[in-house]
């Protein structure tokens, strides 16, 4: 269990406004389950920033297979097109063929703005989860 003092000030505010106990933190990281289906991690990032991270899906096919390659190409092309409109970005973790959504937040973010960013991130996560199912 971590003290809330080790958490980013915006994360402490976010937790207080939502009634989330300090013992929900693990090494400064908070994991939320949203809509009963999405696990969104809020975690410390370099230079005092915060990061949002969530698993979108495990890609189909064997690692390095043609099917996996096609899925990655389609998703990354879509992701590149969304960069102008969304702060979150897709990342591919080769170990386990996992596609993740990540977003870096400014070090001076407020708890109120963090609420809005988590909501927008969750909307993007929902889009990518639905898109991934259609592959």
Give the closest residue to 42 by CA, choosing from 105, 100, 95. 105
- Global pTM value: 0.84
- As given in the structure block, the two tokens for residue 132 are 């991934």
How many structural domains comprise the chain? 1
Which positions of the chain have pLDDT values less than 50? 1-5
User: Residue 33 sits in which domain range?
Assistant: 4-133
- Separation between Cα atoms, residue 88 and residue 82, nearest integer Å: 9
Q: What is the pLDDT of residue 79?
A: 75
The domain that holds 79 is classified in CATH as 3.30.1460.10
Q: What is the pLDDT of residue 67?
A: 61
């Amino acid at each position: 269990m971590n003290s809330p003092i080790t958490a980013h000030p915006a994360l402490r505010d976010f937790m207080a406004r939502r009634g989330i106990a300090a013992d929900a933190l693990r090494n400064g990281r908070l994991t939320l389950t949203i809509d009963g289906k999405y696990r969104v991690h809020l975690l410390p990032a370099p230079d005092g920033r915060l990061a949002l991270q969530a698993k979108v899906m495990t890609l189909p096919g064997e690692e390095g297979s043609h099917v996996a390659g096609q899925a990655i190409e389609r998703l990354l092309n879509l992701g590149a097109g969304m960069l102008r409109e969304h702060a979150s970005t897709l990342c591919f973790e080769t170990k386990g063929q996992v596609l993740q959504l990540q977003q870096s937040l400014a070090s001076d973010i407020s708890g109120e703005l963090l609420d809005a960013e988590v909501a927008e991130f969750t909307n993007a996560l929902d889009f990518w989860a639905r898109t991934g199912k259609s592959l």
